[in-house]
Amino acid sequence: MGIIGAILKNPEDLHHLLKLKMASAAANRAIPSDPNLAFCYQMLRRVSGSFSIVILQLEPGLRNAVCVFYLVLRGLQAVEDDLTIPYDLKVELLRNLHKKIFDRDFHFPCGNNDYKLLMDKFYLVILAFLGLTTGYQEVITEITERMGEGMVKYLNTEIISREDYNEYCHFSAGLMGLGLTRIFYTAGMEQFTPDYLSNAMGLFLQKTNVIRDYLENINAQPTSRLRWPKEVWSKYADKPEAFMDETNYKQGLHCLNEMVTDALSHGLDCLHYMAALQDQPNLRFCATFQITALGTLAMCYNNVEVFRGSVRMRRGLTAKILDVKNMVDVYGAFYDFTRLIAAKIDKTDPSAVTTHKFVDDIRSICRFEIKNRRAFTIESKFGHETFLVVALFVILVIMLLIVTKQ
């Protein structure tokens, strides 16, 4: 009854959820006939269902390169995250994976569940990589080398300063932004975007994940994986775990809001990057992740649930974001989500002035660019007629379920 309850609460989501269902089915049908690429797309579905749907918006040749690129970087992540690998061996693997992707037989058993399968059969990803053009191979090799070195640097290094935090996020995701830009350019579909804009696209996503996953990472075993910089959290508590205690929620929210504000500092650069994209499918691909990130930040801002539960965007809204068509939609989404943040700013919050500045800067450029647009909002807004239609649909589903069980 979970999906039915969600539809009753947000009936306008029904249309978008149905489209998402069809997109998911299309992703299943889009598996290439080549066995190596087939494995890559099957693994993509398993390690990131949302990415496997969004990637379908790309041109087929470009899609294959992005799929392989993503899985190679996931291979790095699998090695980094496996705590059973001895330190020296882990360092060797991270620093040399960019060379090993030219070894047709390379695989390395590590990770759990889907990542274990990925690494057990990593040679199939390598064969798909070797089937790409030289230009794509050069990009993937360079970014894999740089990311591997970055992972080594932060294996056992605490993030102290904001500079550390930015560098960590650069290695974790900014480099992927640079790699995607180079892949777009290699495909002959886009101009070469300045690195600082490509980096901002990755930082925006990574910082959102770091903020949203506070509870999961603080409770990780055998040791915390929280990546909030000490320079920030130490202003509000002696240790970041303190924010889970309800007596510290006020200080925790101040810290959280400063973290969200820091992420919002990349918003304008993300808009500039996307506005420069010339190919519409490329724009839709990039915009889906950036809008989802901003929507997640809007949900996290000043929200104590970050410290005691899970803050996730509802599936219907995620499905709606997948319908983004053009830059006007992007501006509309950014405008609406920053409006939601602005409505939650408490003038007594230590970061309030800076938060307002970043939000107002984003809203100003969006307000100038948008005309007739759809509304991207977290809140549900619908009329009586819509409710009746959805209620009838839900009743029909329930009746069908009853008949099926008899």
Determine whether 334 is an active site residue.
Answer: no
- Out of 182, 212, 227, 363, which one is annotated catalytic? 212
Determine whether 212 is an active site residue.
Answer: yes
- Out of 165, 168, 236, 273, which one is annotated catalytic? 168
Distance from the first to the final alpha carbon of the chain: 18
Q: How far apart are CA 339 and CA 206, in angstroms?
A: 22
Determine whether 285 is an active site residue.
Answer: yes
192-388 is a CATH 1.10.600.10 domain: yes
Q: How far apart are CA 240 and CA 256, in angstroms?
A: 11
- Out of 104, 162, 225, 367, which one is annotated catalytic? 225
- Rounded (5°) CA angle 69-70-76: 95
Count the Cβ atoms, other than its own, within 10 Å of residue 86. 8
pLDDT tens track, the chain, 406 positions: 455 555 556 666 665 666 666 656 665 666 788 999 999 999 999 998 788 888 988 998 899 999 999 999 999 999 999 999 999 999 999 999 999 999 999 999 998 899 999 999 999 999 999 999 999 999 999 999 999 999 999 998 999 999 999 999 999 999 999 999 999 999 999 999 999 999 999 999 999 999 999 999 999 988 889 999 999 999 999 999 999 999 999 999 999 999 999 999 999 999 999 999 999 999 999 999 999 999 999 999 999 999 998 898 887 888 889 888 899 999 999 999 999 999 999 999 999 999 999 999 999 999 988 876 655 555 555 444 455 555 555 555 665 666 555 5
Determine whether 225 is an active site residue.
Answer: yes
Which residues of the chain are in CATH 1.10.600.10 domains? Answer: 32-157, 192-388
Instruction: Pinpoint the alpha helices (H) of 170-237.
Output: 175-186, 195-212, 214-218, 230-233
> 32-157 belongs to which homologous superfamily?
Farnesyl Diphosphate Synthase (1.10.600.10)
> Is pTM, for the whole model, over 0.85?
yes
